Structures are given as structure tokens and as C-alpha cells.
Amino acid sequence: MHDDHITTYRYLEHNEKITPLEASQSPNSLLMRIRSPLLSQLSRMSSSTPKERHILTPTDSTDASFRAQQYQKGTLSRSQLLPTAFAQFAAWFAAAQVAHVHQPETVCLSTAALPSGAVSSRFVYLKELDTKGFVIYSNWATSRKASDVRTNPVASLAFWWQEVERQVRVEGAVERLSREESQAYYDLRARGSKVGAWASEQSSVLRKEDGEREVLERRVREVEGRFEGTEDGEIPVPEFWGGIRVVPTVVEFWQGRESRLHDRFRYTRVGQGTEEGEWKIERLSP
């Protein structure tokens, strides 16, 4: 979507009520409803030279709705912190659940390929937290993240919990779970998800000349036929599918504060005296 159109929606969101039917209109139709000052600005943006910036929320507006949201739902001090990053994360995750954060297990997983250093990110689900690290499951043969991890076995995770104005960042090494560990989780999945794991060559191109989605659906039918009559608990986890654990060296806890003066604390692993190790805790400047 063009920046002008995003700005249009932002303006309408804060200044006018629009019906579902109106919301389904094209951006150009909605653009006609913009008040004169902003319409003039958008017109200038559309005809701007490449050197001019397109600003999503204009800072020269006198409308307070264009100003950055202020975070006022909480604070974070050293006295509130638990000794280990795992314990602190578990406490915050439980608090997110109590606050009805929408799918708090949703996390952005970022990886990078070597030697290019190209970074890729995607949203996945955190499925487990143990005394070693954070566990997710996926295809580890054909996916982009699999390719990245093969050349550079480190990753970062980023959680954003809007309802409590908190985020958590994790950095660490990546290790594969054993087939037995992956099978234990795989047995809990819905049958359709198990079939999908076998059928999808994740991130590979479904070519238009071959039928695109029909290729995938044909593979699903083939896998369903292969396991017809097989009990759900007897479907084996594919060799190429399973869990990885991000073993953290750094975990940062971020609590939004007013005027962008956020509370940030970084846990850095400094020892391996226990399975969880020891952690150095430092406050970071916002």
C-alpha cells in the first residue's frame, strides 16, 4: 500500500467514523473524504521529488491524534525483576495471559544468512519454554530460516504485547531438538496440521504453470492417502520437520513509558553454574 493511502486511513481513523462498507472502498475513494489541509499535503507528497520524505504521521499537524501514542500502563524497576531471564519471562508471559493479550505466544523470529548477512524475519508461535531456551517448530529442510540457520546458527526473537505495552527481545544460539522431542509435540497437533507438515515444501515456489495451489492440494491428498487408516498418534514426524531451541545469551525486557523514556533491563548470561546459568542484569537507556 502506498504511503499516501496509509496516511489516509490513519487520518480517518482518528477523525471520522466510517462504516464497514466505506472501509471496503478503494483508497482513492476514501482519499476524497480527507479534509482540505491534509488533502493538499497528500497532493504535494504525490508529486514530490524522490529527495522529499513521505511522513506517515505529519509532525506539523496541530491535531493531537497525529502525535505518538504515550505509554502509561506500567513501570519496571530493578526491585521487580526475578534473578533469571527464564523466570522473568515466565512471569511476564503469565501476566500477558491474565491481561488477555491476543496470542502472547506470537513471536517474530529473525535469522541471517552467511556470508551475505541478509536478514529475514517471520512470525511464528513459541511452543515451549524450558530451562535451556525458547522452542519453536517448523520445516528445517526447505524454508528460508532453515537455510539461514545452516550457515549461521543464531537467531533473535521479539515479542510485542500491546495490551500491556511490553516487549521482550531474545538473542542466542540455535540448536535442533531430538527427533523424540519433536515427535512428542507432533503427536499433540491436529491431524490436518500433521498432514500439512508432510505435504508442504515450505518456501519452495509453487509454479503458475504447474497449477500453483493445486500442486499443494495434490500433495495433501497424496499424504492423506498414504496415512489413510493410520491413527493420529501413529503418524511419524517428518525427518525434515521439528523443533529448534533458541538458547539465549541476552534477553531484554522493555516496559513502555511516557515521552519515550521507557524502562529497559537486559539480562546477559555470564555463567553456566546451573542449567539456567547466572545472569548479569543492567538497565539500558531508552
**Residues identified as active-site:** 260
φ/ψ (deg, to 5) at 105: -75, -10
| d(C-alpha 240, C-alpha 189), whole Å | 16
Nearest to 167 by CA among 256, 246, 269: 256
- When computed from its CA atoms, the radius of gyration of the chain, rounded to whole angstroms, is 24
Exposure pattern of 141-157 as b/e (b: 16+ CB <10 Å)? bebbbbbbbeebebbbb
* C-beta separation of 109 from 148 below 8 A: no
